[in-house]
Amino acid sequence: METKAIRQHEHGGVEVLQLETLDVGAPGPGEVRIRQHACGVNFIDIYHRQGLYPLPLPHGLGLEAAGVVDAVGDGVEHVSPGDRVAYVSTTPGAYAELRNLPASFLCPLPDDVSFEDASSIMVQGLTVELLFNRISPVRAGDTVLFHAAAGGVGLVACQWARSEGVRLIGTAGSDEKCAQALALGASEMVNYRRSDFVQEVKRLTDGEGVDVVMDGVGKDTFMGSLDCLRPLGTMISFGNASGMVPPLDIMELAVRGSLKVTRPILLKHIGDPDLLAQMSRILFEKMRAGAVVPQIGLKLGLKDAASAQEKLAARSTMGSIVLTC
């Protein structure tokens, strides 16, 4: 069967993204063919396109989508044709109308979650679940510093923190972004283009510092983030939107008071079907309770993938981005 899909034949700028027509065969053993209704756009797609995280070329882009099972291969039992599903996969290729995928990545999609909402939140929502529940579990009363709090992961984190009684101090690059994050659950926001975030965090915490920093900005914020932690605090470096974090002198952790640093990545954990089922159940429960409402800031067609990535890299988006197929 034919499908339209976004592919790249070389690493580079958004001009390498091409809309192509491909043939999708029958799903192999353990695979499912999905007719996709929407797919999400994430910052990791930019790293894949640029080659920061290199892909064998040519390759498709995109790690998450939602749609309907069209056909199943031998040995697939937990989903059937006609089922509504959503996924995050370790293999890019979600920017497509139709694709084959190992069935182990699929989560049955509750009827009350739309395809667009699901495709916007699988990567970002499961990442927040990982950060809050599994990397350095945060509890009611803890204080977390979260950078880029009005981004896709950020707006989920603001809502998650509010629902758990966690004080989230966010940073963002404009007053409009700060207002949006506050509306969704951040306790305090710092516009880090106008104020020094380290000084502001010290002021807001009476000089004590925060329990945990969640930093997806990377190069520009990493060292300042360490300065925001209380002794014995935890630095979670989970992304590099501003560039890769340079190598760290481990003594920097000692002099600031026995800090811990962790560098999690969601894709290393979703291959475990039991863990994936547990994490996605917790995410969907948060959504069903109304504690986490997907925030789609930009919706475009599949053919506009390049424009979507351009806007994301230019820091002009808030919340999540979806492409409808």
Ligand X SMILES: NC(=O)c1ccc[n+]([C@@H]2O[C@H](COP(=O)([O-])OP(=O)(O)OC[C@H]3O[C@@H](n4cnc5c(N)ncnc54)[C@H](OP(=O)(O)O)[C@@H]3O)[C@@H](O)[C@H]2O)c1
Positions that interact with ligand X (CB under 6 A): 42-44, 123-124, 127, 148, 150-154, 172-173, 177, 216-217, 220, 238-242, 264-266, 312-313, 315, 317
Q: With respect to ligand X, which residue has the nearer C-beta, 46 or 69?
A: 46
Q: With respect to ligand X, which residue has the nearer C-beta, 234 or 240?
A: 240
Q: With respect to ligand X, which residue has the nearer C-beta, 76 or 172?
A: 172
Greatest Cα pair distance, the chain, in angstroms, is 62
Provide, rounded to whole angstroms, the least separation between the CB of residue 25 and ligand X. Answer: 30
* Pairwise CA distance, residues 315 & 300, whole Å: 17
Q: With respect to ligand X, which residue has the nearer C-beta, 108 or 264?
A: 264
Q: With respect to ligand X, which residue has the nearer C-beta, 17 or 69?
A: 17
Provide, rounded to whole angstroms, the least separation between the CB of residue 260 and ligand X. Answer: 17
Q: With respect to ligand X, which residue has the nearer C-beta, 37 or 177?
A: 177
Provide, rounded to whole angstroms, the least separation between the CB of residue 313 and ligand X. Answer: 6
Provide, rounded to whole angstroms, the least separation between the CB of residue 30 and ligand X. Answer: 25
Provide, rounded to whole angstroms, the least separation between the CB of residue 88 and ligand X. Answer: 9
Q: With respect to ligand X, which residue has the nearer C-beta, 41 or 98?
A: 41
Provide, rounded to whole angstroms, the least separation between the CB of residue 82 and ligand X. Answer: 30
Provide, rounded to whole angstroms, the least separation between the CB of residue 296 and ligand X. Answer: 12
Instruction: Determine the residue with CB nearest ligand X.
Output: 151
